[in-house]
Amino acid sequence: MSATMKGPAIFLAQFAGDAAPFDSLASITAWAAGLGYEGVQIPSWDARLFDLEEAARSTAYCDEIRGVCADAGVEITELSTHLIGQLVAVHPAYDAQFDGFAPPAVRGNPGARQEWAVERMTMAAKASRRLGLDASVSFTGALAFPYLYPWPQRPAGLVEEAFAELGRRWKPILDVYDENGVDVCFEIHPGEDVFDGATFEMFLDAVGGHRRCNINYDPSHFLLQQLDYLAFIDLYHERIKAFHVKDAEFNPTGRQGVYSGYQGWVNRAGRFRSLGDGQVDFSGIFSRLAQYGYSSWPVLEWECCLKHPEQGAAEGAPFIRSHVIRVTETAFDDFAVGAADPALLRAMMGIA
């Protein structure tokens, strides 16, 4: 245990827009740096900020992107491919909803949409390498999620076949990432087939324990499921290679619980909040991650049902900075230690 986290950093997806300073990479990174962020996670699908196709084929373009960020005073933490990875596996029930993530040319054609997503995921691997990045963040997509609740009874083998197919689709993509030296850190998230530790293990088995199959740790999704998010770190810390810092709260009532009764975000028992306004134990999380040597970026993902995003962003950098633990290189009681003396050690234990 000798590494200290970087950061703080911010995911730009929820802030990008058509008005300044959110409408170009140069202006949004300057805005982020002005709030105290040292890193930015870039949504690879947002053409206002980034051209994924150009980044995949042009080192010069990637150098330009890195230069824009450096001029603002920030580094790139990861490329996000959440909306692209989602389309690698889409259950037909969600076709209409997820078509909006794809270009018009492949909408209404699930096969073409999937091919497009796989191609773009491959581009993101190459772009990440050209940008000098070791990790990216994404979603797995879902084939089984509509059958989450075990009623009506699922036919035998349905879940197993869903994960086998998920593995068949993702393993070739992970192989491309391996060729480029980049991890895919999947955000474990309801709506994806991989939404908790058990399903992550199933997915990991389906891709043969692939070394590039890793985790983007986001405690907000675990709190809303009432999962022990600190114990999760104990179990899976070796696979946690990215970290979304996002808060949430769960306030069950006599009317609703985990499923939250189809209510809108403000009226749900479980809802996302700005950092410090929810119930997530970030002191425990940062301590646990420091214990296991997590040394990458803590990235603010702002989602709140109440607070304005610019206020949430302004509060986020100092919140994260106050929780980052500078890992000590010495033990607190080193001052009292004596020099090693083999004879004394044996005498203390009564060894002749």
Look at residue 1 in the predicted model and tell me its pLDDT.
46
Instruction: Output the six-digit token pair for 180.
Output: 């480029």
Question: Distance between CA atoms of 178 and 184, rounded to whole angstroms?
Answer: 9
Q: What is the tens place of the pLDDT at every residue in 144-155?
A: 999 999 999 999
162: Cβ contacts below 8 Å, ≥ 6 apart: 143, 144, 193
- 352 band by pLDDT with thresholds 50, 70 and 90: confident
Average pLDDT score over residue span 203-225: 98
Q: What is the tens place of the pLDDT at every residue in 238-269?
A: 999 999 999 999 999 999 999 999 999 999 99
196 neighbors 227 (Cβ within 8 angstroms): yes
Q: What is the tens place of the pLDDT at every residue in 111-149?
A: 999 999 999 999 999 999 999 999 999 999 999 999 999
Residues of the chain above pLDDT 70, percent? 99
30 neighbors 322 (Cβ within 8 angstroms): no
Nearest to 316 by CA among 11, 43, 5, 24: 11
Alpha-carbon distances, residue 274 vs 43, 288, 312 (angstroms)? 20, 21, 6
> Looking at the chain, how many residues does it have?
352
Instruction: Output the six-digit token pair for 350.
Output: 């009564």
288: Cβ contacts below 8 Å, ≥ 6 apart: 230, 233, 234, 237
CATH of 9-348, one of 3.20.20.150, 3.40.50.2300, 3.90.1150.10, 3.40.390.10: 3.20.20.150
Nearest to 88 by CA among 24, 169, 28: 169
Residue type, 48: R
Instruction: Output the six-digit token pair for 121.
Output: 């995921």
**Res 338 pLDDT > 80:** no
Look at residue 330 in the predicted model and tell me its pLDDT.
78
Residue type, 264: G
